[in-house]
Chains A and B, each alone.
Chain A
């Protein structure tokens, strides 16, 4: 398969498109941000030498600038739309990335939380002049179609660079690209509190793949089986360190609130 080898360089638009990242602090939104940054930097793609748009000979437009991160602080821990992170730790991530953060609070009521998301995107358009949104949606049509509708109404581009990506491929690429990710929540049998704080590494992938075969656990946690938090990645100027944590939950539903610095 000779993928991603464009034959000639098209005329390039030199103006960078300003992007806002729908940001939870977890692996998917961080990896989506990473791909946007990488495509925007003009660096040659190192993730897929054979199946991504070569930066040198890509399509007409292509330079992006991450202008802000957008987080929704939902009161509903069971939100269908949003990963519900501790906003204080997302602030720490934004700080080490050197990117402004917009936080909008939501009661997390089904469908009404979309108004809150719309409000957050409008704020990003107004304050940071963004022209596009990047989400970490992988398989959830519920999530992605709602984001698409809001962006369409607001006349903003919507990018989903992880869309339809293989579950294991995501984890493999995170590891290959030196993302340091820990498990911050577990919500499905047989994953229990012992998985909290665990690093996503080769051993983790081997185990979660086995659980997928036996219990149909989604390898990337797309079904909400687990949540993650990124401590370090190529977008960070400095690695975050867990200085304290508290675990909440019971049975196979646990959440770890970490304090990072």
Chain B
């Protein structure tokens, strides 16, 4: 059972940032449920075999003020994938700081190591004003460049992508869901 976490403040953003991820799962008959980040309970986390923290819009960064709501990430023992804002939350929880960088649209990114099935040059869809520099954190970086684009925690099954895989890298999401 995959738990999708919605971090959007605006209800209308659900259709753009959460539903497309849910649709990818539904098409493959992967079971899951959705919670808004303000409503996630211990019971929800216990029920989840994996968690995806979805992204949100350029202007919507209210989650930054509520990062403590994600403190469960430090002790969670199952796989987590953070997308864009979700990745930023992961970085903040593990001690990173937000930095400014606006990237909107398709960009070519080079995966130097295999990351949830993606390797080599990939065209990815970016939509962010901020990022976290994971280089000084306990994470491995999988994409070349100054901005951390795809990371994995060194000891935990915690993955983060700054781009939106629901647009061009749907397989990445499915590979995450199919992790043992």
Pick the contact of B16: A57, A151, A163 (CB < 8 A): A163
Pick the contact of B34: A3, A141, A155 (CB < 8 A): A3
Q: Does B146 contact A (CB under 8 A)?
A: no
Pick the contact of B13: A10, A57, A159 (CB < 8 A): A159
Is the beta-carbon distance between A59 and B9 smaller than 8 angstroms? yes
Q: Inside 8 A of B30's CB, which chain A residues have their CB?
A: 1
Is the beta-carbon distance between A59 and B10 smaller than 8 angstroms? yes
Is the beta-carbon distance between A1 and B25 smaller than 8 angstroms? yes
Could you tell me the distance between the alpha carbons of A151 and B57 in the complex, rounded to whole angstroms?
11
Could you tell me the distance between the alpha carbons of A7 and B11 in the complex, rounded to whole angstroms?
15
Residue ID in chain A nearest B30 by CB atoms: A1
Task: Looking at the assembled complex, report how far the CB atom of B34 sits from the nearest CB atom of chain A, in whole angstroms.
Answer: 5
Could you tell me the distance between the alpha carbons of A151 and B39 in the complex, rounded to whole angstroms?
30
Is the beta-carbon distance between B11 and A62 smaller than 8 angstroms? yes
Is the beta-carbon distance between A59 and B6 smaller than 8 angstroms? yes
Is the beta-carbon distance between A164 and B20 smaller than 8 angstroms? yes
Q: Inside 8 A of A2's CB, which chain B residues have their CB?
A: 32-34
Q: Does A185 contact B (CB under 8 A)?
A: no
Is the beta-carbon distance between A141 and B167 smaller than 8 angstroms? yes
Task: Looking at the assembled complex, report how far the CB atom of B87 sits from the nearest CB atom of chain A, in whole angstroms.
Answer: 18
Q: Does B36 contact A (CB under 8 A)?
A: yes
Within 8 A of B (CB), among A1-55: 1-8, 10, 17, 35-36, 39-40, 51-53, 55
Size band of the interface chain A makes with B: 35 or more
Pick the contact of A7: B4, B39, B125, B127 (CB < 8 A): B39
Q: Inside 8 A of A60's CB, which chain B residues have their CB?
A: 9, 36, 38, 62
At the interface, is chain B mostly helix, strand, loop or mixed?
A: mixed
Q: Inside 8 A of B44's CB, which chain A residues have their CB?
A: 7
Is the beta-carbon distance between A152 and B102 smaller than 8 angstroms? yes
Is the beta-carbon distance between A157 and B104 smaller than 8 angstroms? no
Within 8 A of B (CB), among A100-147: 132, 134, 141, 145
Is the beta-carbon distance between B32 and A159 smaller than 8 angstroms? no
Kindly supply a per-residue 1/0 record for chain B positions 15-34, scoring 1 wherever the CB is within 8 Å of any chain A CB and 0 otherwise. Answer: 11001101101100011111
Q: 11 extra interchain contacts, Cβ-Cβ under 8 A, other than A7-B35, A60-B62, A158-B57?
A: A1-B22, A1-B33, A3-B4, A8-B39, A52-B14, A55-B11, A59-B8, A141-B105, A157-B60, A161-B12, A164-B23
Q: Which residues of B contact A (CB under 8 A)?
A: 4, 6, 8-16, 19-20, 22-23, 25-26, 30-36, 38-39, 41, 44, 57-60, 62, 102, 104-106, 125, 127, 129, 166-167
24 inter-chain pairs at a CB distance below 8 angstroms, sorted by A residue, are A1-B22, A1-B25, A3-B34, A5-B34, A6-B34, A6-B35, A36-B12, A51-B26, A58-B14, A59-B14, A59-B36, A60-B9, A61-B9, A141-B167, A145-B104, A149-B104, A152-B59, A152-B102, A160-B15, A164-B20, A164-B23, A165-B20, A165-B23, A166-B23
Q: Which residues of A contact B (CB under 8 A)?
A: 1-8, 10, 17, 35-36, 39-40, 51-53, 55, 57-62, 64, 132, 134, 141, 145, 148-149, 151-152, 155-166
